[in-house]
Amino acid sequence: MKIAVFSSKAYDQQYFGNDCDSGFTMTFFETRLNAHTAVTAQGFEVVCCFVNDDLSEATIKVLKEVGVKLIALRCAGFNNLDLQAAQQAGITVCRVPAYSPHSVAEHALALLLSLNRNIHRAFNRVRENDYSLNGLLGFDLYKKKVAVIGTGKIGSTFARIMTGLGCEVIACDPVQDSELIKLGVSYVTLEHLWHQADIISLHCPLQQDTFHLVNEQAISQMKPGVALINTGRGALIDTKAVISGLKSGHIGYLGLDVYEEEADLFFEDKSNTLLQDDVFARLLTFPNVLITGHQGFFTKEALTAIAQTTMANIRAFAAGDFAAMQLVGK
3-state SS assignment for residue 36: coil
Cα 303 to Cα 297: distance, rounded to the nearest angstrom: 8
Which CA distances in Å does 228 have to 54, 91, 148? 28, 38, 10
157: left (phi over 0), alpha (psi -120 to 50) or beta: alpha
How many C-beta atoms lie closer than 10 Å to residue 321's C-beta? 10
**Positive/negative CA dihedral, 275, 278, 283, 285:** positive
Phi, psi for 262 (deg, rounded to 5): -70, -20
pTM over 0.85: yes
Annotation says 117 is catalytic: no
Cα 181 to Cα 229: distance, rounded to the nearest angstrom: 22
Annotation says 57 is catalytic: no
- The sheet with strand 46-49 has its strands ordered as 25-28, 2-5, 46-49, 70-73, 92-94
**In the CATH scheme, what is the code of domain 2-99+300-324?**
3.40.50.720
Nearest Cα residue to 46 out of 76, 25, 31, 62: 25
Please give the chain's pLDDT, 330 residues, in tens: 999 999 999 999 999 976 667 689 999 999 999 999 999 999 999 999 999 999 999 999 999 999 999 999 999 889 999 999 999 999 999 999 988 899 999 999 999 999 999 999 999 999 999 999 999 999 999 999 999 999 999 999 999 999 999 999 999 999 999 999 999 999 999 999 999 999 999 999 999 999 999 999 999 999 999 999 999 999 999 999 999 999 999 999 999 999 999 998 999 999 999 999 999 999 999 999 999 999 999 999 999 999 999 999 999 999 999 999 999 976
pLDDT at 325: 96
The H or E element that residue 158 is part of is: helix 153-164
CATH 3.40.50.300 at 101-291, yes or no: no
Catalytic residue among 32, 74, 95, 294: 294
Report whether 52 contacts 80 (CB < 8 A). Answer: yes
pLDDT at 27: 95
Catalytic residue among 262, 268, 282, 315: 262
Q: Beta strands 168-172 and 145-149: pairing type?
A: parallel
**Distance linking the first and last C-alpha atoms of the chain:** 24
Report whether 329 contacts 93 (CB < 8 A). Answer: yes
For 193-227, give one letter per residue: b (16+ CB within 10 A) or e: bbebbbbbbbbbebeeebebbbeeebbeebbeebb
Which CA distances in Å does 279 have to 39, 144, 163, 273, 300? 33, 31, 35, 16, 32
Cα 203 to Cα 232: distance, rounded to the nearest angstrom: 5
Cα 270 to Cα 279: distance, rounded to the nearest angstrom: 16
Cα 49 to Cα 69: distance, rounded to the nearest angstrom: 14
pLDDT at 19: 62
Catalytic residue among 107, 168, 233, 260: 233
Cα 13 to Cα 26: distance, rounded to the nearest angstrom: 9
Annotation says 212 is catalytic: no
Residues in CB range of 228: below 8 A, 6 or more apart: 199, 200, 202, 214, 237, 242, 251, 253, 254, 255
| Range list for CATH 3.40.50.720 in the chain | 2-99+300-324, 101-291
Burial of 79 (0-12, 13-18, 19+ CB in 10 A): middle
Which CA distances in Å does 195 have to 137, 151, 219? 24, 19, 9
